[in-house]
Structure 1
């Protein structure tokens, strides 16, 4: 009897030891990541929104609207999320998962922030009507074209040309600086192109597929009289 008890006890210890050392699956960490995102979203929505200017747009992989009163907890949850994302990636590689579509896509930046039914909300291009997009496009185009009007071009290697799509699927190239407010102007270009894509699709233009790759290409720039000029080559 004693021998059987020792045998079963040793087996239980062995099973427990194995279960502790066995790595968790990709699916396990993926579920935890999704739960953490839900926890973050619940935290953000817990603050009543009456003045949208009190909420800061924070970008950590994706965009969030964060009120100062919850920033400390938000940052803590983001640290926990980052660790779960790391474990998820390790499990992904360990289990030999095959990656999904790796084709480049235009980042989906928010257009503006609003209070809706007492909750903070970010609006994206897909949330806008064609009429709203038509009203936005001229002003956004002008801001992109004049963004670097006061920045001199002294080193062409610090500049690149990026594509804008216009009416009838025509493409235009604008020069942007590699370091001076680069993220800001790139986001403006991305938003403008996303708006134009939605507009062209609403008009049933069939050129989107043939020009889409242009959004991820760059052109060389030359400095002429202190101004960046996109090379015609």
Structure 2
């Protein structure tokens, strides 16, 4: 949390410097106020005593997840309102204006809220115990492996291949765009982050991060997709 507050403080310093040099910049003013409101919310969250887990939910901020309690939802709403106003005031095409990076940050998958070291946190894969990581991987693998099993294959050009790493071995899976493809993507992201955490936490486990024998082609056999090795 100290690193996060340091990051927010640094962001505030940069924005404040720009705001001081360009007082008529509406975006700079609003994003500065939004950053202050976000810092208030994080500090408030950091000092919350342990409360029933059902009173918490997860919110997503520009650069991290936060375990949000109903008592400080008001601060979160104020932050988001200021951020929305700032985005509306953002004018990257204005001649001579400083171009801000408003691209969203891609956050890793999370695994719920839990109590850790006197405070509520949003758990990432690295925060889980090794036993739980193995359990989650065992549940996810067959779901991913069989996700497209019943999807008809008539045109192999509509299919692609990804490889899931299991016990250091890369296993190819044929995938295609379906109405529920997003569910597959979310599970695959969870699986990948859990696998990285497993390798990191398992002593003596030295798996390659690159597939030495990638499979690229899919063929349709009797209406089923098959990876050509």
Question: What's the TM-score once normalised by structure 2's chain length?
Answer: 0.59
Deviation string 1:65-111 (CA, Å, 9 cap, x unpaired) is: 668999898567434324436767949x94478x9xxxxx9851012
- Cα distance change, pair 115–199 in 1 and its aligned pair in 2 (3 A): closer
State the alpha-carbon separation in 2 of the partners of residues 152 and 141 from structure 1.
21
Aligned to 2:52: 50
Aligned residues: 200
Aligned to 2:38: 37
1:221 partner SS: strand
Question: What's the TM-score once normalised by structure 1's chain length?
Answer: 0.58
Cα pair 1:57 1:63 within 8 Å, conserved: yes
2:173 partner SS: strand
Aligned to 1:229: 226
Greater per-residue helix proportion? 1
1:152 partner SS: coil
5+ residue gaps, structure 2, are: 1-20
State the alpha-carbon separation in 2 of the partners of residues 75 and 95 from structure 1.
27
Cα pair 1:114 1:123 within 8 Å, conserved: yes
Aligned to 2:159: 159
Aligned 1:66-215 pairs, distance under 5 A:
77-84=79-86, 90=92, 94-95=97-98, 107-114=107-114, 121-168=121-168, 170-202=169-201, 203-205=204-206, 207-208=208-209, 211=210
Aligned-pair CA distance for 1:116: 6.9
State the alpha-carbon separation in 1 of the partners of residues 91 and 125 from structure 2.
30
1:162 partner SS: strand
Cα pair 2:219 2:226 within 8 Å, conserved: yes
State the alpha-carbon separation in 1 of the partners of residues 217 and 69 from structure 2.
42
Aligned-pair CA distance for 1:205: 1.2
- Cα distance change, pair 69–222 in 1 and its aligned pair in 2 (3 A): farther
Compare CA radii of gyration and give the structure with the larger one. Answer: 1
2:150 partner SS: coil
Deviation string 1:152-195 (CA, Å, 9 cap, x unpaired) is: 33443443222212213x22222233242222211211221222
- Cα distance change, pair 196–96 in 1 and its aligned pair in 2 (3 A): same
Aligned-pair CA distance for 1:201: 2.6
State the alpha-carbon separation in 2 of the partners of residues 228 and 58 from structure 1.
38
Cα pair 1:107 1:190 within 8 Å, conserved: no
Cα pair 2:33 2:82 within 8 Å, conserved: no
- Cα distance change, pair 137–67 in 1 and its aligned pair in 2 (3 A): same
Aligned-pair CA distance for 1:145: 1.2
Name the stretch that deviates more: 28-37 or 59-68. Answer: 59-68
1:137 partner SS: helix
Aligned-pair CA distance for 1:141: 0.8
- Cα distance change, pair 117–133 in 1 and its aligned pair in 2 (3 A): closer
